Amino acid sequence: MSAPDPFELAALAADAIVEGTGGRRPDVAIVLGSGWLPAVETLGDPVVELSTATLPGFPVPTVAGHHGAVRALNIGDTRVWVLVGRVHFYEGRSEAEVVHAVRAAAIAGSPIVVLTNAAGGLNPAWPPGTAALITDHLNLTNLSPLSGPPPPEPYASRFVDLSEVYSRRLRDLALEVDPSLRQGVYAALRGPHYETPAEIRMLQTMGADLVGMSTALEAIAARHLGAEVLGISLVTNHAAGVSPTPLNHLEVLEAGTAAAPGLGRLLRSLIERL
């Protein structure tokens, strides 16, 4: 049997989430990166939370700090979907599975997608706990969510323009909330191992300020469907060769917990301005 069309599967998931969350479509969708769950806990109680195990096409996350759920909550008059439980290539997932949650949110009607992540910092002046807006990315996964058969009608051509993947308008709003936010280029690699010092020097030469194992393909999928994208990285550690100590995933989660109050205030204040 052939694999189901990823857009049809995302549309089924979108309908299931809308129905399961009371019939209201999202105004904003937030994808949680590693360590970001404590920040979202500060946004308020969900109206409803659905397990992604009950929804079409959602793979089960296998990484600590990611559990599969979709939360619907309200911030003022804004309906927010929080997508808890990103999956990654290194879990053995396909491009379509990696972007499935973002596609479902965009097809459900979300005009804005906020992509958060934990990232290694390539700039020694950005200590762990630094929040940085993504201005652009280097997709070094060598993969695209638009590979394969062309998107069916009524979706746009796969040849999507990426001149402005990450919305300048949304970055400007975030800077109104917190003018101290850093801004930089995110390099996306496949992982799951951390990079070598030589690879980090290469990325620095290429112009990267942040490095991680997610986000880029989700951003491409969201832009293809017409959503505005805001990317926010939490620097959870200095990258190899910048950090004087070995890297581990536990420090990623600990950094997220420590930064949670500030990140939660940032997200809430930003959403209130939309």
Q: Known catalytic residues?
A: 34, 66, 88, 90-91, 118, 213-214, 237, 249
**CB neighbour list of residue 177: distance below 8 Å, 6 or more residues apart:** 266, 269, 270, 273
Closest CA to 202 of 251, 148, 138: 138
Q: Fill in the amino acid letter for 89.
A: F
CA–CA distance, 195 with 90 (Å, rounded to integer) = 14
Q: Is 231 helix (H, G, I), strand (E, B) or coil?
A: strand
Contact 225, 107 (CB under 8 A): yes
CA–CA distance, 201 with 264 (Å, rounded to integer) = 32
CA–CA distance, 55 with 69 (Å, rounded to integer) = 9
Radius of gyration (Cα) for the chain, nearest Å? 17
